């Protein structure tokens, strides 16, 4: 998904994804795992809090999300905690989208 006025932001996200793959390969021999998390719209301060504070914007995003709502900080935190656990020990070099199915 591309949005007008977001070319630099989007490009940096792409760069982080590729950088994480290189790091995963380079650091793997030291048993360090590297993954990129790609969250959808989350109710935070990001973007001036527009997802959290603007009901109209929040509703618009929720209507474009398969699970019918925007994300909450805990939705992301739980995935981060999982990735840091031994249960995720075989996940490496991946881009993991955590968006509730936004813009499918």
Tokens 């739980």 -> residue: 78
For the entire predicted model, the pTM comes to: 0.89
Alpha helices, DSSP H, located in the chain: 7-27, 50-53, 55-63, 73-83
Does residue 71 carry a pLDDT above 80? yes
pLDDT tens across 1-50, in order?
A: 787 898 999 999 999 999 999 999 999 999 999 999 999 999 999 989 99
Does residue 63 carry a pLDDT above 90? yes
Active site residue 9: yes
Question: Taking the domain 7-98, which CATH number applies?
Answer: 3.40.50.720
Q: Which of 9, 19, 22, 57 is catalytic?
A: 9
pLDDT for position 67: 98
Indicate the burial class of 55 (C-beta count within 10 angstroms; 0-12, 13-18, 19 or more): exposed
Query: Mean pLDDT, to the nearest integer, of 80-94?
Result: 98
pLDDT for position 14: 94
């Amino acid at each position: 998904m591309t949005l007008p006025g977001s070319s630099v932001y989007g490009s940096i996200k792409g760069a982080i994804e590729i950088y994480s793959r290189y790091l995963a390969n380079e650091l793997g021999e030291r048993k360090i795992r590297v993954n990129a998390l790609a969250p959808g719209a989350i109710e935070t301060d990001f973007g001036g809090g527009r997802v959290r504070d603007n009901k109209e914007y929040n509703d618009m995003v929720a209507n474009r999300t398969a699970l019918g709502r925007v994300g909450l900080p805990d939705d992301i935190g739980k995935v981060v905690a999982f990735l840091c656990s031994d249960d995720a020990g075989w996940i490496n070099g991946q881009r993991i989208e955590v968006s509730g199915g936004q813009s499918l």
